[in-house]
Structure 1
């Protein structure tokens, strides 16, 4: 604010005039300061629409429009759920955390050596009522699965083995384009603890190379076949770019769920395993499997979240 200083005037008869002028100038300066931004606090306040700015109050019309949009979106989700034979609309997962939780190896899953190795775990530490859906191998390439998961907006992760996906890389490229992360499940799905370190390197790092070549991105997640591994497995995996080894707490089939935990139940952060299988292996299709797992998840009050947002 511009300051005005009154000049001294020894002429008494002009005191009143000078006082009037001074008052006018101070008033104008104050008005100028307000016009410039109403003081320092206002100058530091973010403009509307930028981070930190206070939200403009919603009028009745805006609130009604928002409510109508939410109503229509929920109706659309219900229609899609009915289309795919789900009795209930899948719950929506909360926004992922700004910082991913620290994942450590589950007690009892450690290997000898003690050095820092990729963590092996069956659940992600979180208090949110969310679980994670993962699919292994890649033998069944059901186009219905891609449509179903896309329309229902259910996230999932794929752990693929080259020996069963190499006949149709295009199917998994389509899956990747729909937002699914493709991770490592070895070249040939062999029992890793029975192999030499060199053979394990071929299985694990060889699959890293295949995925990078055909899908453009080197995985950071790895799941050993059958969930079996040893110290060499983790050391080799780490050497070719693996950061974490998610196993599973439950497994989904078209007709049932199987559980690792004693209470036969879901818990926040649990990882669910299933496979790319069809009627040749199951009494049902992949769509049937999704219906089973989503009934279980939704009935228990959980939403499916994207694993890579947390690991």
Structure 2
């Protein structure tokens, strides 16, 4: 008698477990969820979405920039670099090339931090080797780091193998120091060729040029750099400046002047984010 009761209880437990398992499988394969399990229900009523503060909006990256990656995950091979970004509102991107340089990059990072703004830094691998702490700071503060080759050569005069070496070595040191491989690259001097576009795509990077060139490398004066940025300001604009490669004290002072003015004028200075499928 006791044995029959144990068998009956065992059958009941197995029947219940089978029912629960069937329900779980049905939920996991429900339409619209693919092969992933449905998310757990929210605990309690959904809280109302509060409006973003100005600083939070400035720190939010752009979305919808450029065509998304293909379904295979391969980066498209372009015939020309991207010149501007797309996004809602008056959005702009500030970019700084040739660094990092311990004389100027920290001051630029300090100004960006003061206004809670993120920017892009296209770094040279040989500069990173002696200034890894600055790349680590860029990562901590949410800036985007791009590939500007190892030694800043004119790519149009190099062999395909040499271009790959310049770009690949820089990708490797960025990943080791910054924590991620770069998704953007910029040719030194803005000199692109077919090999650079193809190799950049093979390394998973999109080519980004600029819309407004401050020509700060010519040291035209702080006021001139400020005027060039403010005159060229418009939705989607990408501004080119430098934080290394020479005396960049004018670039540092100019950023301190034009950044708060752009923000007060209603511009949202942020960084692009690629869409991944």
- TM-score of the superposition, structure 1-length normalised? 0.60
Q: 1:138 aligns with which of 89, 95, 99?
A: 99
Instruction: Note the C-alpha offset of 1:309.
Output: 6.6
Within-5 A mapping of 1:81-160: 93=58, 100-103=64-67, 116-118=76-78, 120-141=81-102, 142=104, 143-160=106-123
Task: Name 1:281's counterpart in structure 2.
Answer: 247
Q: Is the 8 A contact 1:251 1:258 kept in 2?
A: no
Task: Name 2:224's counterpart in structure 1.
Answer: 256
In 2: Cα distance, 1:185 partner to 1:140 partner:
14
Q: Please state whether the residue corresponding to 1:248 is helix, strand or coil.
A: coil
Cα distance 1:229–1:237, how it changes in 2: closer, same or farther (>3 A)?
same
Cα distance 1:103–1:124, how it changes in 2: closer, same or farther (>3 A)?
farther
| Higher normalized contact order (CA 8 Å, seq sep 6+, divided by chain length) | 2
Task: Name 2:256's counterpart in structure 1.
Answer: 291
Within-5 A mapping of 1:53-68: 55=48
Q: Please state whether the residue corresponding to 2:195 is helix, strand or coil.
A: helix
Q: Please state whether the residue corresponding to 2:254 is helix, strand or coil.
A: helix
In 1: Cα distance, 2:273 partner to 2:175 partner:
17
Q: How many residue pairs end up in the alignment? A: 221
Q: Quick check: which has more Rg, 1 or 2?
A: 1
Instruction: Note the C-alpha offset of 1:302.
Output: 1.6
Instruction: Note the C-alpha offset of 1:189.
Output: 0.4
In 2: Cα distance, 1:217 partner to 1:283 partner:
30
Structure 2: gaps (5+ residues): 1-40, 69-74, 217-221
In 2: Cα distance, 1:277 partner to 1:175 partner:
15
Task: Name 1:196's counterpart in structure 2.
Answer: 159
Q: 1:302 aligns with which of 261, 267, 270?
A: 267
Cα distance 1:259–1:227, how it changes in 2: closer, same or farther (>3 A)?
farther
Q: Please state whether the residue corresponding to 2:97 is helix, strand or coil.
A: strand
Q: Is the 8 A contact 2:59 2:118 kept in 1?
A: no
Q: Please state whether the residue corresponding to 1:307 is helix, strand or coil.
A: coil
In 2: Cα distance, 1:192 partner to 1:268 partner:
31
Instruction: Note the C-alpha offset of 1:154.
Output: 1.2
Instruction: Note the C-alpha offset of 1:116.
Output: 4.2
Cα distance 1:194–1:258, how it changes in 2: closer, same or farther (>3 A)?
farther
Cα RMSD (Å): 3.8
Matched, 1:247 2:243: no
